[in-house]
Structure formats: structure tokens, C-alpha cells
Amino acid sequence: MRENQTIPTLSLLGILLSTVTLFWPPLVAVVRLAVHDDRYFQILAAPLLCVFLIYWERTKIFSESRFSPRAGVPLLSLAMLLCFAVVGRPSPSNEQAGLVLAVFAIILAWMAAFILCYGAQSFKTALFPLCCLFLMIPAPLEWMDRITLGLQHASAATSYAILRLAGIPVFRQGMTFLLPGLSIQVAPECSGIRSCLVFVIVGILAGRVFLRSGWRILALIVLTIPIAIFKNAVRIVVISSLSVYVDRGIIDGPLHHNGGPVFAFVGIALFVPLLYALGTSESGRRRPKAEISCAPADVALTSR
């Protein structure tokens, strides 16, 4: 990074603080949504993910940075006008739609500020980390309900398959499992959406840090979803099995309500080999082929 990055960095921080101050209500609203609803965990993780990746790639991002008022000022002005237009006109009939537009406009303003302070070339290099900010945009509740329902059904189906493979007597009726002397239900709270979001965030971070191929990064992120589903199914199977054969109180004990970190090791045990395999395949493709010299040996014939 250049030595004269102090002024652009302070300028960017000043613009960020100004936007946070001017548009405080929608930002507070979206943070409250993330705090009170596990389905919006990514809102809090997005800024941290963006800052970490920019810091991780700081040498490459800021190697050709330059103050760019010609491109940055018009873009920042348009983004700020959009922010004032969206935030200044609240829509009581559809509050969440207004929140989505407000957060989207604020992110555009932050990106324009980055172009102003560091230039288009640095913006292009930092596009992946900056696009992580779009995770702050809250998806509509209907979408999150459908995602939760899908994870709920997937976890129930996987749990049922594991119980059958383990030879445990079980009868399934929708989301309800009938075990010997015990009936359990896979509720929406047991869908594992929070752990799924955590694994997706970790997949984005690990993919960007350890991989270079775009499709491998995408594959890692996508495959974190079945990993999270399997981890959640193992959690359901273990808790229900222990409740049937060991202690009925386990179903209402700390392992059920606070055992997420314990079962996270199941997901980690699947995620790490997957990351290693993708990284190995990538390095294997980049390894240059050994050049074999087939020069004939010189043979001297002498006659006696």
C-alpha cells in the first residue's frame, strides 16, 4: 500500500460516518432486525466480512489507488440523492420494501465513496469484498419463510434417513417423528437456518482466501448448504436418540437448546476436507508440467 493512503482513508471514513449519521433510522432498523431474527444473521456479518477481505487483499487493492473526483463525485452525488429520495419518503404500507431500498441506496453510496477515494481500478479489484455488503439487504419475509420451510423439510428428511440407517424404530408423519416412547417435531426453530447462514458466510470467506477459481468458490459456497443440513440432521438424531435410550430429560436440556457449537464440529469435519480437495485440485491444475529432455546421448565409437 502506498504511504499517502492516510488522506483517502480518512476521507472514506468521514463519508461513511456522514452517511451513518444522515441515514441512522434505516440502519438501526436493519440491525434490530438482525439481532431479533436469526434468519437475518448475515446483515451483521456482511460489514465485517467486507472489511476483513479488503484488509486481506489490501496490497493488491490499493497498489494502483488514486483519488478520482471525476468519476467519484458524480456517482456519490447520485447515490446520495437516491438515499435522500428513498429515506425521505417512508412507505408505511410496505415498511420492509422501504427498508430494502434504503439499505441498497446506502450501499451504493459507500461504493461510490470508495471510487472517489481510491479510483476505479481499486474498486474493480475490491469488487468481491464490496459486493459482500449487499448481504446487508434484508430479504423479504416471504422469502425467508420459504427458505426456512425448505431447510425444515430437508433436515426432517435427512434425519429420518439417518434414523432408518441406524436401525432406530421411527415413524414419520410430516414434521413429526414417532420414536419408542417419544414423539418429536421438527419445528421451524429447528430448521438450522442460522447455522446454514454461518456456514455460507464461512464459505464465502474461506473461498476468497484459499481459492482463486470462481467456480470453485461458488461450489464451496453452494455445498455449505447440504453440509449445514446434514449437521442439523445429526443434531436432531443424536438428541432424539439420547432422549429415547439414555435420558428423557435430554430433549429439554442444554444439549438441545445450547448445543449448537458442539454439533458444529460435524459441519467442520465435512467443510475442511471439501475446502482442501478444492484447493488441491486448483493447485494441481496450476502446476506446470515437467519438461522431459530427450536429447540423445553422444556415443563415441572407436576402432582398434
pLDDT digits (tens, 9 = 90+) for 248-269: 888 888 777 777 788 899 999 9
Question: How far apart are the C-alpha atoms of 238 and 245, rounded to whole Å?
Answer: 11
Find residue 182's DSSP bridge partners.
179
Q: Does residue 303 carry a pLDDT above 60? A: no
Most distant CA pair in the chain, distance: 109
Residues belonging to the chain: 304
pLDDT digits (tens, 9 = 90+) for 271-280: 999 999 999 9
Q: Domain boundaries in the chain? A: 3-137, 143-286
User: For residue 231, what pLDDT band results from cuts at 50, 70 and 90?
Assistant: very high
pLDDT digits (tens, 9 = 90+) for 39-73: 999 999 999 999 999 999 999 999 889 999 999 99
- Per-residue DSSP letters for 204-217? HHHHHHH---HHHH
pLDDT digits (tens, 9 = 90+) for 9-31: 899 999 999 999 999 999 999 99
Q: Does residue 201 carry a pLDDT above 60? A: yes
Secondary structure element (H or E) that encloses residue 173, with its range = strand 171-173
pLDDT at 202: 96
